[in-house]
Homo-oligomer: A and B are copies of this chain.
Amino acid sequence: MTEITYLEGIRQALFDEMERDPSVFCIGEDIGAFGGAFKVTEGLAAKFGDERVIDSPISEIGIVGAAAGAAHMGMRPVVEMQFIDFIANAYDILTNYVATARYRAFLPCPMVVRGPSGGYVRGGPFHSQNPEAGFIHTPGLKVVYPSTVADAYGLMKSAIRDEDCVLFFEHKYLYRRIKGELPAGDGAVPIGKARIAREGKDLSIITYAATVWKALEAAEQLEREDGLSVEVLDLRSLAPLDDEAIQATVRKTNRVLVVHEDTRTGGIAGEITARISESSFAWLDAPIMRVTAHDIPLPYAPQLEDFVLPQASDVVRAARWVAAY
């Protein structure tokens, strides 16, 4: 099999699901013939036609609401946010309408909202966001954020097939930087299951998305320079969280670092810390510590962005501290 990029993995999943199921369609700004700002949907309109790959007005409320309505009627819409940052515009309709549809009204609302997320690409404060925390806070939504090609592909398949709304965060830093093969067979990756990205026994790093790669880089350095055996758990699914996998790694290594690119206060690391504290307090040999971005709107200049976002070197420094505790 040939290697493809993370972005191609997503595109391939869209392609496969649209081919498999005629009720799947895409809607978003500039996603048709143009293929989207990042070309994720390139080729889809040519293959499936304008009616299934719909260029929309600049209306995030409109397209999310329309997706919900179509989903009620049996369609399976995939909504693109041109940048995930603009999901903020649809916060009301996503958290109030979509998330509650099944519970309050027994309305099925199977839909995916996807878009390029995250920083490390000099996108500035409005093209680099990680808004996942605001959505894992909302019962009724599922949230995934893959870090590998196989997961990008496999989670998109599961997201489209899921009976509820799944927010699918794509890390734009990874779009073309990482390559991998797709597994043989269907390749769907279940939502709600974490992945051990690297086995280890001295310390667990729990993370997701781009910082999985920062953590792996740090883990190698720690092994090389400190002889530390670091386990890296890639959450993949943020809602629901894989409590079992989190518990397993914590009880194995007894030391935890939670790493994410999102800002610190109110980020998911807090939730993970609380769950570990509740379930595995007795297993902890050190405080659960967090490596995150600063609580600052992400600035644009490379010197500033790199300072505000967590880097592999930060993970190394923090891991040494936790290991030495």
Contact = CB atoms under 8 A, between A and B. Distances in A.
Contacts of A267: 137
B133 A297 contact: no
Interface stretch (A70-78, A163-171, A288-296): A288-296
A85 interface: yes
A276 to B, nearest CB: 8
Interface string A118-139: 0000000110000001101111
B277 A140 contact: no
Interface residues of A, number: 50
Given A100-B125, A134-B137, A270 B274 contact: yes
Contacts of A85: 96
Interface stretch (A87-95, A172-180, A226-234): A87-95
B296 A286 contact: no
A274 B297 contact: no
Interface in A260-276: 263, 265-274
Given A88-B96, A270-B270, A137 B126 contact: no
Interface in A46-97: 85-86, 88-89, 91-92, 95-96
Interface string A94-109: 0110011001100000
Nearest to A89: B92
Contacts of A125: 96, 100, 104
Given A88-B91, A104-B125, A287 B296 contact: no
Nearest to A279: B287
Given A96-B85, A96-B88, A263 B137 contact: yes
A241 to B, nearest CB: 8
A278 interface: yes
A125 B137 CA distance: 15
A191 interface: no
A207 to B, nearest CB: 15
A258 B103 CA distance: 27
Residue of A86, A92, A271, A274 with most chain B CB atoms under a 10 A cut-off: A274
A24 interface: no
B88 A265 contact: no
Nearest to A281: B287
Contacts of A263: 137, 139
A296 B139 contact: yes
Residue of A140, A268, A277, A287 with most chain B CB atoms under a 10 A cut-off: A277
B266 A140 contact: no
A239 interface: yes
A-B pairs with the 10 shortest C-beta distances?
A137-B266, A281-B287, A270-B270, A91-B91, A88-B92, A270-B271, A273-B274, A270-B274, A139-B295, A134-B134
